[in-house]
Amino acid sequence: MTRTRVAVIGSGNIGTDLMIKVLRLSEHLQMAAMVGIDPDSDGLARAQRLGVPVTAAGVRGLIAMPGFDEIDIVFDATSAGAHRANAAALEPYGKFLIDLTPAAVGPFVVPAVNLDDHRDARNVNMVTCGGQATIPIVAAIAGVVEVAYAEIVASIASKSAGPGTRANIDEFTETTSAAIRDVGGARRGRAIIVLNPAEPPLIMRDTVLALVHDPAGAAAARIDRAVREMVDSVAAYVPGYRLKQQIQITPIPPDSPVHTLTGGEPVTHQVSVFLEVEGAAHYLPAYAGNLDIMTSAAMRVAEQIASTREHIR
């Protein structure tokens, strides 16, 4: 079987973890290049030890590498600003770009929700770690009953938030909020990220709060079932993804001022879902589930694209 050749731009934590996942786990992908801008980075040094071709000259160095024409898929694990420049530089070459930054140049993709909708796109955006963890839950709820408002809180270990994550905090909240609406199906959405400085570092926790309109209270069992089925779907490619406790569906008191969140749209119940994401520890510590879910979701997209292309061949 001929594997699809891929490159990773970004030799930091996310890019290095992604490279190791491709080398260890992939059935359809072959690492063809690791790209960075710091010649002394651990990611580039590790890639060299593993026999992966490297360049420290960024995207221009990638384009100049022997074998560049044979690369079909490029993962970008840099930053929102860098991805815009990288996408522009690579656009003439017809590569399939998987963007792990909050740049949102291409359509949002959450594999468990809408991967099939964007197989023909040339640049797909993996939203954010919080988005990958919570948007499937919002979509599951929205598949049963209308969601007037959804709010997600992603709490990650401070140690797992590198310079790129910290530089992209504003983009994180804006991109995730937009994807809660566009992919999750909520009418309104809000995202909050918490960098938890606790020692020892805590595993990623995510909370989804959805305000729904179910006057008769008849949808509770279907919501519970839909959420549990979605958790299983995500866990198929992120093994450390799980419910932390029972799903809570509670009536909203008549005097609760939720109209400030829903814009006056009527709601009757709050759905609360509490999640935990433990990393696979391929390169990153197990507490860095926020990074693991991003690389796992990106791998899922690339595997599906590669398997489709192999079938066509």
Same domain, yes or no: 239 and 100: no
DSSP 65: S
Closest CA to 13 of 298, 288, 297: 288
Whether 58 and 74 share a structural domain: yes
Q: Which helix (H) or strand (E) holds 272?
A: strand 269-277
Please check whether residues 95 and 203 belong to one and the same domain. Answer: no
- Range list of H helices, 115-194: 129-142, 163-167, 169-182
Statement to judge: residues 170 and 46 lie in one domain: no
Residues acting as catalytic residues = 129
In this prediction, residue 119 carries a pLDDT of 84
Whether 279 and 155 map to the same domain: the answer is yes
Domain tally, the chain: 2
Say if residue 176 is in the same domain as residue 265: yes
Give the span between the Cα atoms of 100 and 171, in whole angstroms: 12
CA nearest neighbour of 204 among 104, 285, 149: 285
Question: Tell me, what CATH number does 248's domain have?
Answer: 3.30.360.10
The residues that bridge with 34 in the sheet, in sequence order, are: 8, 54
User: Both 156 and 11 in a single domain?
Assistant: no
Based on the fold, state whether residues 32 and 105 are members of the same structural domain.
yes
The answer to whether residues 82 and 163 belong to one domain is no
Determine contact, residues 108/301, Cβ cutoff 8 Å. Answer: no
The model carries a pTM of 0.95
Output the CA–CA distances (angstroms, integers) from residue 219 to 105, 177, 193, 269, 274, in the order listed.
36, 25, 30, 10, 19
Q: Domain span at residue 305?
A: 4-126+292-312
In terms of residues, how long is the chain? 313
- Helices 289-312 and 13-25: crossing angle in degrees, nearest 10, is 50
CATH number of the domain at 307, please. 3.40.50.720
Residues 150 and 242 in one domain: yes
Q: Which of 119, 148, 178, 159 is nearest to 266 (CA)?
A: 148
**Alpha-helix runs per DSSP H in 236-267:** 259-262
Q: In whole angstroms, what is the distance from residue 227 CA to residue 280 CA?
A: 23
Q: E strand or H helix at 84, and its extent?
A: helix 80-90
Q: Are residues 122 and 173 in the same domain?
A: no
Q: Are residues 146 and 201 in the same domain?
A: yes
State both tokens at 48. Answer: 């060299």
Per-residue tens of pLDDT for the chain, all 313 residues: 689 999 999 999 999 999 999 999 999 999 999 999 999 999 999 999 999 999 999 999 999 999 999 999 999 999 989 999 999 999 999 999 999 998 899 999 999 999 999 988 999 999 999 999 999 999 999 999 999 999 999 999 999 987 778 888 888 999 999 999 999 999 999 999 999 999 999 999 999 999 999 999 999 999 999 999 999 999 999 999 999 999 999 999 989 999 999 999 999 999 999 999 999 999 999 999 999 999 999 999 999 999 876 543 4
Max CA-CA distance within the chain? 67
* pLDDT of 299: 97
Q: Are 195 and 161 in contact (CB under 8 A)?
A: yes
What b-and-e string marks burial along 152-177, b requiring 16 or more CB atoms within 10 Å of the CB?
bbbbbbebbbeebbeebeebbbbbbb
